[in-house]
Amino acid sequence: MRYNGITESTRVDIMEVVCGIIEENQTYLIAKRGKGVHENIWEFPGGKIEHNETREEAVVREIKEELHLDVEVLEHVLSVVDHREAMDIHVHAYRCRKIGGSLELHAHHEVRYVSYQELYDYTFEPSDYAILDGLGKHKASLATNKDFS
Ligand X SMILES: Nc1nc2c([nH]c(=O)n2[C@H]2C[C@H](O)[C@@H](COP(=O)(O)OP(=O)(O)OP(=O)(O)O)O2)c(=O)[nH]1
Q: Which is nearer to Mg ion, 47 or 134 (CB)?
A: 47
Comparing C-alpha atoms, which of 103, 101, 134 is closest to residue 19?
134
In the bound complex, what is the minimum distance in angstroms from residue 3's beta carbon to ligand X? 23
Kindly state whether residue 134 participates in binding Mg ion, applying the rule CB under 5 A: no
In the bound complex, what is the minimum distance in angstroms from residue 76's beta carbon to ligand X? 14
Binders in 40-69 for Mg ion, by CB under 5 A: 47
Kindly state whether residue 79 participates in binding ligand X, applying the rule CB under 6 A: no
Kindly state whether residue 19 participates in binding ligand X, applying the rule CB under 6 A: yes
Residues whose CB falls within 8 Å of the CB of residue 149, separated by 6 or more in sequence, listed in order: none
Q: Which does 19 bind (CB under 5 to 8 A by kind): Mg ion, ligand X, none?
A: ligand X
Binders in 37-76 for ligand X, by CB under 6 A: 38, 43-48, 62
Task: Specify the long-range contacts of residues 120-127, CB closer than 8 Å, at least 24 apart.
Answer: 122/30, 122/42, 123/41, 123/42, 124/30, 124/41, 124/42, 124/43, 125/38, 125/41, 125/43, 125/82, 125/91, 126/82, 127/80, 127/81, 127/82, 127/89, 127/91
- Per CB under 6 A, residues contacting ligand X are 17, 19, 38, 43-48, 62, 82, 89, 91, 125, 127-128
